[in-house]
Amino acid sequence: MNENKIMRIFKRILYDYIYIPLKILSKDKRALFGLIVLIIYILMSIIGPIFVPLNLEPNMEERYQPPSWKHPLGTDFAGRDIFAQIVNGGRDILIAAFLAGFVTIGLGTIIGLIAGYIGGKVDIIVTTLIDIFLTIPGFPLLMIIATWLLQSGITVNILMIAFLLSITSWAGLARSVRSQVLSIKQEPFIEVDKCLGLSKFHIIFKEILPNAMPYIAINFMLSSVSAVYSYTGLMALGLIPYTPGNWGAMIHMAQAYVGTITGAGCWYILAPSLVIIILQVSLVFLSNGIDKIFNPRLREW
Amino acid sequence: MRWIVKRLLMALLTIYVVTTITFFLIRFMPGDFVEMMVYYYMTNYGMSEFEAREMVYGLYGVELKDPLWLQYIKYMITLLHGSWGESYITHQPVLKVLLYGLPWTVFLLSTSLTISFVIGIGIGILMAYRRGGVFDNVASVIASISRATPNFILGLLLLYFFAIYYPIFPARSSYDISIKPGFTIEFISSVLYHSFLPMMAYVLTSFGGWALAMRGSAIRVLGEDYIVAAEARGLKSSRISRTYVGRNALLPLFTSFAISLGYMFGGSVFIETYFAYNGIGQIIGLALSWRDYPLIQGGFLLITSAVVISNFIADLLYGLLDPRIRRGGMYE
């Protein structure tokens, strides 16, 4: 391969996967807002802890301080800086959310493809399974599994949490992928591929999957949103071991101390709440924008 | 008819799978729950170890002497008899404890679900009519924020600002304890007063989802030929929006109505714990913090059964409301 060809491929990737999506996003103010907020959050979680180290030493003389230059967001029930906790507490949530998104689309796509492409008895069994998992309420199931895990003393790593968080969310995507596969399987162009002797691999990954891409992309975003909800929710209930300063843990503590928090200390409730709400809103806005990237019919140009 | 039988079987299968999950969670309980309970009965009731063991096995339908498949069948049979074990904290049958909280949760959830559904539908159809306009833009931003806000966070904020910082609304309980329960105006107004904030927490976080779903559905219907035809026939626009657009756009939302009930049941743990509302959510919340397994699992079983049943009813209703499904040979 000569250098020219590599450059051409590189340029094409840059054009197809960076330039065009950004161009579509830039027309959609809300999606752009979501993207920028998300980038800020990611940067904050990566380089923030270097500048604002977490100091969990209690300082009882500075309980529930209002925002000041020393404490930009005030202090909590033990006189610790809230801003430092906010900056340090996001990393786990972001990692868990995006990992859960990947696990969901992975499981959903594979199971949907299997059901749709193989068909027959496999399809019946898998569809029944999908229907069951669509009705099982996800969050209550998560709660009992989390209590179970907490009791068992198994050390929970972030990948395990991601799998847990996508325990029921794969079903919706699997159903969409399955029905896409079923409808595309009958199309003439698949017949042509088969006549040309193209491999199953080619048919699945080059012909069928791109058609299911809108569902996969949107499910990635939406399962990230619901993963943030479930993860912070489980932490707010104290059901998942958390790292100090985590936003969900802050909600948990704020709820436990809610009766004692005085007027100036309301920042302790407001800060983690607003941070989580803004993250969720930006993810929802971005997911609408991503819908437009993969769904040409929704675009205006 | 065949379709109804199929749906019924599916519903039963779902409940069956859930009970199986709960069985295996009990069976492979970490920290040896059975030993813990045996010890508990020995110390608190002065039983011998044998007696205590028999007692625990009898209560939870778990007999470790039997092979796994027999234990499984026995567990299923005890569940069918309505014996879901005894709650660890209250020493009462799990079912009794849960049934005490059920009416409160059903009242709270069904009222807030209906309110948010009606508000969401109204806003959604207006957005669809004025799509691209100022109202649509503002409303869809608000709806997205409402959809994205976790209900437990809004519940906490409402609790802090409107019950503790500015004590306008009560912070605890589902009614004033000094008032005797009964069909009196005093009691009912107390119930409504106490349920206002929890209800707001649900309504404000769920109306946006309905509005956005309705907007999408209504826009799809507005593009249909029969709407153009209705306009061409010179029908009044109010009639078109009500009978032509409204009805058709509402149809797909009915199944999500039932499914969302399940989500709200799941979220009820937060809201009811925060507001100390005497429903199922609070009971499960307490059970979670006390590691009261039988109660947690009973609660999960109850929630799932509620979701499965409401899904089933929604499917039946959907068939009744949409003649195409009724006639068209059901699903496949």
Spell out the SS3 assignment of A104-168.
HHHHHHHHHHHHHHHCHHHHHHHHHHHHHHHHCCHHHHHHHHHHHHHHHCCCCCHHHHHHHHCCC
**pLDDT at residue B330, rounded to an integer:** 45
Residues 251-280 of A with CB under 8 A from B: 251, 254-255, 258-259, 261, 263, 266, 269-270, 273, 276-277, 280
Tell which of A125, A145, A148 to mutate to test the B interface (max B CBs under 10 Å).
A148
Q: Give the closest of B157, B266, B273 to A140, CB-based.
A: B266
| A174/B contact by beta carbon, under 8 A | no
Element (H, E) at B193: helix B185-222
The total domain count for chain A is: 1
**pLDDT at residue B119, rounded to an integer:** 92
User: How many helices (DSSP H) and strands (DSSP E) are in chain B?
Assistant: 15, 0
**How deeply is A147 buried, as exposed, middle or buried, from its count of CB atoms within 10 A (0-12, 13-18, 19+)?**
buried
d(CA A57, CA A49): 16
Contacts of B14 in chain A (CB under 8 A): 131-132, 135-136
DSSP state of B66: S
**DSSP codes, B227-244:** HHHHHHTT--HHHIIIII
**pLDDT at residue B224, rounded to an integer:** 79
Domain of A184, in residue numbers = 24-52+66-298
A6 within some domain: no
A185 within some domain: yes
A106 within some domain: yes
| A238/B contact by beta carbon, under 8 A | yes
**DSSP codes, B93-155:** BHHHHHHHHHHHHHHHHHHHHHHHHHHHHHHHHHHHHTTTSHHHHHHHHHHHHHHHS-HHHHH
CATH number at residue A128: 1.10.3720.10
A16 within some domain: no
Angle ∠(A167,A170,A172) on CA atoms, nearest 5? 130
ipTM tops the 0.85 cut: no
Contacts of B22 in chain A (CB under 8 A): 144
Residues of chain A with pLDDT under 70: 1, 59-65, 69-70, 73, 77-79, 152-153, 259-264, 295-301
Query: What's the token pair of residue B152?
Result: 């437990």
pLDDT in tens, chain B (332 residues): 677 787 788 888 888 888 887 777 766 655 555 666 677 777 777 777 777 777 766 666 555 566 677 777 777 777 777 777 777 667 778 788 888 888 888 888 888 888 999 999 889 888 888 877 888 888 888 998 898 888 888 888 888 888 777 777 777 776 666 666 667 777 777 777 788 888 888 899 888 889 988 888 888 888 778 888 888 887 777 777 777 887 788 877 877 777 777 667 777 888 888 888 888 888 888 887 777 777 877 888 888 888 888 878 877 777 777 666 655 444 44
pLDDT in tens, A155-190: 777 888 888 888 878 888 888 888 888 888 777 887
| A293/B contact by beta carbon, under 8 A | no
Query: What's the token pair of residue B306?
Result: 């509620």
A197 within some domain: yes
A5 within some domain: no
Angle ∠(A141,A147,A150) on CA atoms, nearest 5? 140
A60 within some domain: no
DSSP state of A265: G
A1 within some domain: no
